[in-house]
Structure 1
């Protein structure tokens, strides 16, 4: 019988292949592959290359090991995008093993399923047990999925929840930039798109943060989605009603958002 697989991502300057965390995962029954995150991040869109590995149903544990300071906002945004991009029903058991002292990072609701261990003493057997239990994911405020690929970049698929209809929309990201958008059926980026009263390059401020957004007056049902190409590491993804001069002040009232870090 094939062993369950684990992917160990080493952060910072911790030891790589042969790391204590790798040894412990193997002892707990995982066939473990180890990568250094800084080597992945050094390649252009290198982190996106992990998507096919994460979609493999036999991968049952995804582990990061490093100091608390190594868990940056950029890393959490990328982990969130990869989590949103998985086509499997639930992500593998995901864990951060914190080595050394430092403040534990805050994880967004999207990563509520992530387990945090201080030191590596007992994390591996606990992950082996956790993979056999059903995983509960918090509900999301709207349909959202990521499409990440080294060749096409990162796209967010955003649409109505089941049995919901939108009469136009404005969708955007905080601390990143929307560089293109279109509308199509859920599941695949559309080859062409007909947009009603489109607005692109929308800029603004959300408190002390800056956002970038797009908008269109298309009516959308739950089998449709807006596809946004995003540059950078988005902090927040949001959706609200179509904004025109008469509704410019209503954005805060009807906004729904999801934090990525």
Structure 2
């Protein structure tokens, strides 16, 4: 039987070499095939997409381990990149099992929404046994949701958040999408077929620059009134790296409940 494969993403920049080598050794000792690379911090060029394509492509690893220090997991650029990676993988490879480890051995700080789906590991003796047990255990159940959410990104086209009703769910009568954070803005919105950016689109009653206060946050949002079926998506192009995103049905409809995701 072929061994299970794990990919290690190492967040510390050219540091903690001893901890890295020990991590690799511990994983190899329990029979895992270990590969990995340092995290590439280049959000401007969407460098994270190379990792996610590998983690979801043919022959991809069975497991993904993200290792870092407390300061790495509170670094907004790093957690943003990891969050959008998770958004992509949650749709394109939901069977991938993710683990998060603080190599300092202390409790992890509060993680952004999408990173909370990873199993948290300590670095005490025997920690790798939990990883190999997960590798050979039953596939993790995919949480049922009535929302489709992912991201399309490339250095040439920028980043587009893609949301809509999940397969089999009722169509949306319009939609809204908002962001918080500095130096970021919504630059375009459109509705089209799921999984690919529309070449042409007609927006019905579009609006932008909407201010929406939710809790302690003020979101800047856009909206339109197109009907969006479960075979379609609402695409929103965002420049910069928002701390949080918010999306849901058009304001004033009975679908106006919103989902909020913290990205960094």
TM-score (norm. length: structure 1) = 0.83
2:77 aligned with 1:74, yes or no?
A: yes
Cα 1:58–1:50 change in 2 (3 A) is closer
| Structure 1 stretches lacking a partner, 5+ long | none
1:227 to 232, 235, 245: 235
Contact 1:21 1:65 in 2 (8 A): no
Distance 1:42 1:228, change over 3 A: closer
Superposed CA RMSD in Å reads 2.8
Of 144, 154, 172, 1:149 maps to: 154
Please, which of 120, 123, 131 is the counterpart of residue 119 of structure 1?
Answer: 123
Deviation at 1:63, TM superposition (A): 1.0
Q: Is the Cα–Cα contact under 8 Å of residues 240 and 255 in structure 1 kept in the other structure?
A: yes
Per-residue Cα deviation, 1:72-127 (whole angstroms, up to 9, x for no partner)? 24333322211221354414221112122554222355444311112153232211
Question: How many angstroms does 1:17 deviate by?
Answer: 9.6
CA distance in 2, matches of 1:150, 1:22: 32
Q: Give the distance between the partners of 1:151 and 1:19, measured in 2 at CA.
A: 36
Match of 1:238 in 2: 246
Q: State whether residues 159 and 220 of structure 1, in contact with CA within 8 Å, keep that contact through their aligned partners in structure 2.
A: yes
Distance of aligned partners of 1:103 and 1:75 in 2 relative to their CA distance in 1, 3 Å threshold: same
Cα distance change on mapping 1:108 and 1:139 into 2, 3 Å: farther
Q: How far 1:146 moved relative to its partner?
A: 1.5
**Among candidates 233, 236, 256, match of residue 258 of structure 2:** 256
Residue 15 of structure 1, aligned match among 17, 23, 38: 17
Whether the 8 Å CA contact 1:236–1:259 is kept in 2: the answer is: yes
Question: What is the distance in 1 between the residues matched to 2:107 and 2:234?
Answer: 37
Match of 2:33 in 1: 31
Q: Give the whole-Å Cα distance in 1 for the aligned partners of 2:159 and 2:124.
A: 33
Question: How many residue pairs were aligned?
Answer: 253
Distance 1:141 1:174, change over 3 A: farther
User: TM-score with structure 2 length normalisation?
Assistant: 0.82
Aligned residue in 2 for 1:4:
4
Rate the CA distance shift 1:209–1:102 in 2: closer, same or farther, 3 A. farther
